[in-house]
Amino acid sequence: MTNATAPLDFIRPEVDRALQRFVDRRRTAFDDPDLAAVLGTVRDFLAGGKRLRPAFCYWGWRAAGGADDPGVISAASALELLQASALVHDDVMDSSDMRRGMPSAHRRFEKLHVDSGWHGSAVQFGEGAAILVGNLLLIWSGELWRNSGLPAESLASAQPVFDHMLTELMNGQYLDLLAQAHGENSFESARRVALFKSGKYSVEHPLRLGMILAAQSREAWIDQVCAGYGQNVGIAFQLRDDVLGVFGDPAETGKPAGDDLREGKRTMLIARTLELASPAQAQSVRALVGDPKLDAEGVATLRTVIEDTGALASAEELITTYVKEAVAVLDAAPIEAEAREALKALAIAATTRRN
Amino acid sequence: MTNATAPLDFIRPEVDRALQRFVDRRRTAFDDPDLAAVLGTVRDFLAGGKRLRPAFCYWGWRAAGGADDPGVISAASALELLQASALVHDDVMDSSDMRRGMPSAHRRFEKLHVDSGWHGSAVQFGEGAAILVGNLLLIWSGELWRNSGLPAESLASAQPVFDHMLTELMNGQYLDLLAQAHGENSFESARRVALFKSGKYSVEHPLRLGMILAAQSREAWIDQVCAGYGQNVGIAFQLRDDVLGVFGDPAETGKPAGDDLREGKRTMLIARTLELASPAQAQSVRALVGDPKLDAEGVATLRTVIEDTGALASAEELITTYVKEAVAVLDAAPIEAEAREALKALAIAATTRRN
């Protein structure tokens, strides 16, 4: 039924179904036709995810000896609701126009306001509605997690990690805002923010949650495997994100070219570029990154600098190194063989993706 | 130990302590000095609440025969975290400057940005940080609720109501945004939004949660008492809010005079005013409500119209009628005598408050 060499292909339709079932069960709370836009936005947004976090959770469960069980799919799918919540709020915070190839949630509600000829500020309406939609997704994440149908002992063992992950995610996102506000950062500080904002929450904690759910207790060897594999893959995952944010194909990423540059994100890739740049190159980076009016020519200039300094090659090298270290951790870990292969394949999928 | 005639005086210090203990236990997640502003904002914000929702929950527990228990105080205090979350997000959504006599959370972070001379938009930083702080408070509400130490049967019985309340709250807030966007509303539609956005969540559900926690099951008679008492007090509570939003003393409400008018809130009070107004009065209301530049003179004009039309007297009469109906429900309900008196006193406290 599962295939360790295509560990995402297996999980995607399962997660799709679990999310659809969950949202369908909440339809009665949306009887009012005025609420149709809320539920429609949630549905469209949820259709688009990569399902990476649920995959790490599911294969963590299998790694620690869990048998196939619809409960673990539901619990893992809760991570996709959490990710959707984070993206909806992120887009408000960054004023991003596009996400997953569609208008971002706040732009969608803004357009509804404009098209309907309503009173007041369409921008404010859009942002307010998106904050609420993000909250719904956050609330539903906890609800799906707790109602997965897994044994109470499994959930009780993993709940503190789930709770901790949520607080850490919010703190990581705040540190990210702060890094942008502080302006320039070293590679090391960019790496730290990436680890807290994205790395731990995208890879390490999903894996840990799956393993604890199966083991029904948080054991030291589990923490070691999750930290070793998770942090390496997490940072490599974020480096790939940094690269896609500059060089990605909009048709695949679902976001306009150079969006990260325009928003002034203080990524590891930009930090590395500045560390390797000549004074003239650095001046050009500082002038262009974070310019809200950055055009195609400016994006092209930045791409050239990032390549010419060797920062792009350095990022690619680091990704390869991190993935190798993660694979070494798996090879030494006392986990199920099929899950080991799946987690290797996932490490590669997460860090060579094009979207 | 408790005093049924001063049911809020008893609960306030208990809730204060429960919230402080909870936040203190999360300190380790905020070791980083960069995160101090997040925790500081949470602490200051939590110091200011009225503790009404925890009081309804606590006295619901007592009404259904629950004995004094620190667990119920913790569970009830979770409602104060939820309310804090809603207010922090509300203030972003409404662009409100003040809350509880202090700058609102987003303005506080905006000021931190300005004072620190950071890069980028201070407004955007403030809003982003406040969205995250609101999320933290929302997450922590669920965490404190689940970790109250009450018996698993109590929590399992009440959890579906807690979950439903959260979804209903977000939907109610969206309907409120929509009512503002639609512009003018009838009293009946304003009443409906008030019931969903605030009434149920401020009174009916807190009471229901307390009663179910004590009874360890959701029984039909509990639902009847909660709907009868909760919806009457909930609407009266919101009517008092409407009146304070126009006539309240800023020194007591902690918000600038006429803030609701400037923001264009479509309250029951404004709806009643328009229903009772002459064409000339209605024209003046329509011109002034929602004017972001509304000054003291404009606020005074609106106050005069709201009084002259009889809308203020009508609101006060309705508050009295709703509270009487709530008291009649209590008198007929098979609940503990001390809790009955406390809930009567709470109905009056919630609807005659000055802040």
Tens-place pLDDT, residues B263-278? 888 899 999 999 999 9
SS3 at position A223: helix
Cβ contacts (< 8 Å) between B143 and chain A: which residues?
163
DSSP B67: P
Residues of chain A with Cβ-Cβ distance to B124 below 8 Å are: 93, 95
Q: Does A38 touch chain B (CB under 8 A)?
A: yes
Of A119, A142, A167, the CB nearest to B29: A167
Q: What is the 3-state secondary structure (H, E, C) of A285-323?
A: HHHHCCCCCCCHHHHHHHHHHHHHCCHHHHHHHHHHHHH
For residue B2, the model assigns a pLDDT of 64
Assess A127–B contact: CB distance below 8 Å, yes or no: yes
Among candidate residues B280, B135, B115, B347, the one with its CA nearest the CA of residue A170? B135
The pLDDT value given to residue B80 = 97
What does the pLDDT read at residue A2?
64
- Distance (Å) from the C-alpha of residue B341 to the closest C-alpha of chain A? 34
Kindly list the structural domains of chain B, giving each domain's residue range(s) and its CATH number in brackets, ordered by start. 7-352 (1.10.600.10)
**End-to-end alpha carbon distance in chain A:** 26
**Which of A82, A140, A59, A138 lies closest to A330 in space, CA to CA?**
A59
295-334 in B: which are within 8 Å (CB) of A? none
Residues paired with B8 in a beta bridge: none
- Please tell me the distance from the alpha carbon of residue A264 to that of residue B264, in angstroms, as a whole number: 35
Contact A264, A302 (CB under 8 A): no
Q: Cβ separation of A181 and B146 shorter than 8 Å? A: no
Q: Please tell me the distance from the alpha carbon of residue B75 to that of residue B338, in angstroms, as a whole number.
A: 21
Digit-coded pLDDT (tens) for B80-109: 999 999 999 999 999 999 998 899 999 999
Question: Which residues does chain B have within 8 Å of residue A192's beta carbon, measured at their own beta carbons?
Answer: none
DSSP-assigned beta bridge partners for residue B24: none
Asked if A135 and B139 come within 8 Å (Cβ–Cβ), the reply is: no
Alpha-carbon distance A150 to B261, whole Å? 50
**B228-255 in b/e burial notation, b at 16+ Cβ within 10 A?**
bbbbbbbbbbbbbbbbbbbbbeeeebeb
Amino acid at A69: D
Amino acid of residue B277 = A
* Nearest CB to A29 within list B128, B171, B264: B171
Q: What is the pLDDT of residue A305?
A: 98
Which residue has tokens 């996709």?
A80
Which residues of chain B carry a pLDDT beneath 50?
Answer: none
Q: Who contacts B196 (Cβ-Cβ below 8 Å, separation ≥6)?
A: B168, B171, B172, B175
**B293 burial class (0-12, 13-18, 19+ CB within 10 angstroms)?**
exposed
Q: Answer whether A171 sits within 8 Å of B29, measured CB to CB.
A: yes
Contacts of A175 in chain B (CB under 8 A): 32, 34-35
**pLDDT means per 10 residues in chain A (355 residues)?**
78 96 94 94 93 97 96 98 97 93 96 96 97 98 97 97 96 93 88 88 97 97 97 97 95 89 92 97 95 94 98 98 98 97 97 91
Look at B38 and A171 and tell me if their CB atoms are within 8 Å.
Answer: yes
Contacts of B93 in chain A (CB under 8 A): 124, 127-128, 131
Residues in chain A with CB shorter than 8 Å from the CB of B174 are 34-35, 38, 129, 132
Identify the DSSP state of B70: H
Q: Report the chain A residue with the minimal C-alpha distance to residue B121.
A: A181
Nearest by CB to A136, which of B35, B118, B167?
A: B167
Chain A nearest CA to B339, separation (Å) = 32
Long-range pairs for A339-345: beta carbons < 8 A, 24 or more residues apart: A339/A4, A339/A59, A339/A60, A339/A62, A339/A63, A340/A63, A341/A4, A341/A5, A342/A2, A342/A4, A342/A5, A342/A7, A342/A59, A342/A62, A343/A7, A343/A56, A343/A59, A343/A63, A343/A207, A343/A229, A345/A4, A345/A5, A345/A6, A345/A7
Q: How far apart are CA A87 and CA A42, in angstroms?
A: 12
Query: Between A and B, how many residue pairs show a Cβ–Cβ distance under 8 A?
Result: 141
Put simply, the answer to whether B119 touches A183 (Cβ < 8 Å) is: yes
Q: Does B32 touch chain A (CB under 8 A)?
A: yes
Task: Show residues of chain B in contact with A134, CB under 8 Å.
Answer: 131, 135
For residue range B215-254, what is the model confidence (pLDDT) as tens digits?
Answer: 999 999 999 999 999 999 999 999 999 999 999 999 999 8
